[in-house]
Amino acid sequence: MKARCSPYKKMQGYGILKHMEVSFEGGGAVLKGMSCFEPRHIFDNGQTFRFDEVEEGVFEGVAHGRFLRVTKKGNRITLYPCGAEEYEQVWKRYFDLETDYGMLFCDCGDEALEKGRQYGCGLRLLNQPPFETLVSFIVSANNNLKRIKGIIRRICERCGRPFVFEGKTYYAFPEADKLAALSVEALKECGSGYRAPYIKETARMVAGGFDLEGLRAKSYGDAKKELMELPGVGPKVADCILLFSLGFRDAFPADVWIKRVLKEHYGFAGNDRQVYAFARKRFGKYAGIAQQYLFFWQRDKDRNDGEKNTI
């Protein structure tokens, strides 16, 4: 069992990205020498629900209360609008741009993971605002991508701060107190169904002082336990919040897709606790990134087989 660790020696290559250059032109940030940045793999893997591909290679969405357009042409990635200050303060961290994903799990000797890694090349873990991530993944429970996106869009339109960019109106994700002030009925009208009271109560608790940011300083186990005290947050949703917004790269969301991978390719089946223990042992402290590669690979594989659109 111990030999499991050896294929992952090269994880030490996971570190600061040295070869990327950033320049600022035409109101945007241009990233060059960035081999690991594939917008489709970043935005279409179920970690965020607010970006859409508006034309080939062009993604638009709202994050941190701002509009952002991400364009990939060849090896040139543009973030727009984005000045030097905004890059430093917002997007560099959002896209985890100081991290080198290239070496992670490289030649790991794990066939499924190697496949996922090649297939999902350019995938990055976002660092999203915790409250938005929390509510989004409460909505995601027992739900599919298309519906989740619609529900979140309507919630933002209902009580998020509106702003205009290039003549179009967009909506920031609402603050906790704004969301807590909505009635359960209004939340249901957004399409959230039986999750409406969970959303309202969770928003109320966050507005009332539940310290999401403070979870960063805690251990994985403690942070997860605390998150699960919020209504609508079970083990899987808690792991998503930890992985996608609070920097816990060892969090391993045990959804149906990853369970399928573990069964088909690792011959493993178990409850959520056992899944996490297996993942931590097998993939180490970046298990969450392995989860993303495997998830993305399996989902597209199944999608192509059966034309499914669930997350």
Identity of the residue, 39 or 46, whose beta carbon is nearer to DNA in the bound complex: 46
Question: Least distance in Å: CB of 201 to DNA?
Answer: 9
- Residue ranges of alpha helices (H) inside the chain are 39-43, 84-86, 92-94, 111-119, 130-140, 145-159, 176-181, 184-189, 196-207, 220-227, 235-245, 256-266, 272-283, 287-306
Identify the CA nearest to 25 among candidates 68, 90, 80. Answer: 80
Rounded to whole angstroms, how far apart are CA atoms 75 and 56?
15
| Binding test (CB under 7 A) with DNA, winner from 35, 71, 78, 310 | 310
> H/E element holding 162?
strand 162-165
Identity of the residue, 207 or 228, whose beta carbon is nearer to DNA in the bound complex: 228
Identity of the residue, 36 or 230, whose beta carbon is nearer to DNA in the bound complex: 230
Question: Least distance in Å: CB of 191 to DNA?
Answer: 5
Task: Please tell me whether residue 236 binds DNA under the rule CB under 7 A.
Answer: yes
| Binding test (CB under 7 A) with DNA, winner from 5, 54, 256, 269 | 256
Rounded to whole angstroms, how far apart are CA atoms 91 and 233?
28
| Binding test (CB under 7 A) with DNA, winner from 153, 255, 278, 282 | 255
Question: Least distance in Å: CB of 26 to DNA?
Answer: 37
| Binding track over 84-123 against DNA, x by CB under 7 A | ----------------------------------------
Length of the chain: 311
Task: Please tell me whether residue 278 binds DNA under the rule CB under 7 A.
Answer: no
Q: What is the DSSP letter of 91?
A: I
Amino acid at position 288, single letter: G
Q: Helix 130-140 to helix 196-207 angle, to the nearest 10 degrees? A: 160
CB-CB neighbours of 177 under 10 Å: 13
| Binding test (CB under 7 A) with DNA, winner from 15, 33, 109, 193 | 193
Task: Please tell me whether residue 143 binds DNA under the rule CB under 7 A.
Answer: yes
Task: Please tell me whether residue 149 binds DNA under the rule CB under 7 A.
Answer: no
Task: Please tell me whether residue 144 binds DNA under the rule CB under 7 A.
Answer: yes
Identity of the residue, 99 or 143, whose beta carbon is nearer to DNA in the bound complex: 143
Rounded to whole angstroms, how far apart are CA atoms 201 and 194?
13
Task: Please tell me whether residue 214 binds DNA under the rule CB under 7 A.
Answer: no
- 257-276 binders of DNA (CB under 7 A): 257, 271, 273
Rounded to whole angstroms, how far apart are CA atoms 146 and 139?
12
Task: Please tell me whether residue 147 binds DNA under the rule CB under 7 A.
Answer: yes
CB-CB neighbours of 2 under 10 Å: 6
Identity of the residue, 162 or 193, whose beta carbon is nearer to DNA in the bound complex: 193
Any catalytic annotation for residue 200? no
Q: Which residues sit at the interface with DNA, rule CB under 7 A? A: 140-144, 146-147, 188, 191, 193-194, 198, 228, 230-238, 255-257, 271, 273, 307-311
Give me the active site residues, please: 236
